Chain A
Amino acid sequence: DTGVSQDPRHKITKRGQNVTFRCDPISEHNRLYWYRQTLGQGPEFLTYFQNEAQLEKSRLLSDRFSAERPKGSFSTLEIQRTEQGDSAMYLCASSPSGGRPDTQYFGPGTRLTVL
């Protein structure tokens, strides 16, 4: 399977705990995006990487959120001191740099539930 993969698919945690999600993009895709989606809403942009460089970060993100893409391949999204409002589906997408169109290929998502 050469699609975008995310791990874990589901995560249940208690309020105040830290969680980390992983995204493996399609091989050779330079661009990687993280989104958050809640029920009945569209994906909400969180952050964007071009290779290993984090070029954009939503102002909606608090300091509790951090993302990395250390070698320009897989990426991790960490949420510290989780809150119930963090419960959502966290989606990762990748796209090839310079591709026309710049299609975003989404992974299956990680569903986070904060109790």
Chain B
Amino acid sequence: GQQVMQIPQYQHVQEGEDFTTYCNSSTTLSNIQWYKQRPGGHPVFLIQLVKSGEVKKQKRLTFQFGEAKKNSSLHITATQTTDVGTYFCAGRNNFNKFYFGSGTKLNVKP
């Protein structure tokens, strides 16, 4: 069945360092979304990528969608303590069903 794999599982960085999380799907995706979940909270939508090779930026966050629409990445430049949380990718198939990755838990040391 369809799967979305996400790495790394954990990432500990010093404040100011960069951070990247990667998602890979076993099948081609219709689109991919990224969510952030703070400890004790629920997932909050960050962005959606639809087009092959698409790149979007939100301040210090850069999102990429692979050419084959099977992989994606989220890169944070110069992390801050407010970036702490778990970042999930969610790939959508053609039937409006979303497959979430297992998440990358980011810890930022001040």
Q: B43, B47, B97: which contacts A43 (Cβ < 8 A)?
A: B43
A31 and B101 alpha carbons, distance in the complex (Å) = 21
CA A106 – CA B103 in complex, angstroms? 16
CB contacts under 8 Å to A, within B9-50, are 31, 33, 35, 42-45, 47-48, 50
Q: Does A25 touch B at the CB level, under 8 Å?
A: no
Q: Between A and B, how many residue pairs show CB distances below 8 Å?
A: 61
User: B77 CB to closest chain A CB, in angstroms?
Assistant: 23
**How many residues of A are in contact with the other chain, CB < 8 A?**
25
Write the chain B residue with the least CB distance to A47.
B97
Q: Is the CB of B100 within 8 A of A43?
A: yes
Q: Could you mark each residue 74-115 of chain A with 1 if its beta carbon is under 8 Å from any beta carbon of chain B, else 0?
A: 000000000000000001010000000111111111000000
B96, A55: Cβ atoms closer than 8 Å: yes
Partner of B103, one of A35, A42, A91, A105: A42
B48 and A102 contact, CB distance less than 8 A? yes
In Å, the complex CA distance between A40 and B48 comes to 23
Partner of B97, one of A48, A107, A109: A48
Q: Does A28 contact B (CB under 8 A)?
A: no
**Interface core residue of B1, B42, B88 (most chain A CB under 10 Å):** B42
Measured CB to CB, the nearest residue on chain A to B101 is A42
What is the interface size of chain B, counting residues whose CB is below 8 A from a CB of the partner? 24
B-side contacts of A109, CB under 8 Å: 42
Q: What's the least CB distance linking A53 to chain B, in Å?
A: 12
Judged by a CB distance under 8 angstroms, whether A33 is at the interface is yes
B84-99 interface code vs A (CB 8 A; 1 in, 0 out): 0000101010011111
Known: A48-B97, A56-B97. A40 touches B44 (CB 8 A): no
- List the B residue with the shortest CB-CB distance to A42: B100
Chain B neighbourhood of A41, CB < 8 A: 102-103
Check B72 for interface membership: any CB of A closer than 8 A.
no
In Å, the complex CA distance between A35 and B90 comes to 12
Task: Give the interface of A toward B (CB within 8 A).
Answer: 31, 33, 35, 40-45, 48, 50, 55-56, 59, 91, 93, 101-109
